[in-house]
Copies of this chain bind each other. A is one copy, B any other.
Amino acid sequence: MKRVVKVEIVTDSLEVENIIKLLEEVGVSGYSVIKDVTGKGHRGVRSGYEFADLFKNSYILVVGEENQMHKVVEAIKPIIKKFGGLCIVSDVILRIHRGDD
């Protein structure tokens, strides 16, 4: 049982690989990705495309210590600014995780 910060990111599916690289660099303990997310924002509707892996979003969830999560947000900012999406953070309690109690 531990207070941690939860970071939620929605962005272009094709940027997931790049974001993961940044997460690894910051050194997070893990992350989760939901691939098929559609939506709408400033760039218009993004509902996927039947003929190519385009115009679709993904959702990325990372939880970790507050200052590490702060670094995560700073690291991914340029990608979100360029390819769209948003990033929200909130406080949660980590109840079960390997080694924790």
Where the two chains meet, the residues of A that have a C-beta atom closer than 8 Å to any C-beta of B are 4, 6-8, 10, 20, 29-42, 57, 59, 61, 63, 73, 76-77, 80-81, 84-98
Q: How far is the CB of A29 from chain B (nearest CB, A)?
A: 7
- Specify which chain B residues have a CB less than 8 angstroms from the CB of A86 in the assembled complex: 30, 63, 94, 96-97
- Specify which chain B residues have a CB less than 8 angstroms from the CB of A29 in the assembled complex: 41-42
Count identical subunits in the complex: 3
- Specify which chain B residues have a CB less than 8 angstroms from the CB of A90 in the assembled complex: 6, 90-93
Q: Among B37, B63, B81, B92, which residue has its beta carbon within 8 angstroms of that of A33?
A: B37
CB-defined A-B contacts under 8 Å, sample of 7? A20-B40, A42-B98, A63-B86, A76-B96, A77-B96, A81-B98, A88-B94
Q: How far is the CB of A82 from chain B (nearest CB, A)?
A: 10
- Specify which chain B residues have a CB less than 8 angstroms from the CB of A40 in the assembled complex: 20, 30-31
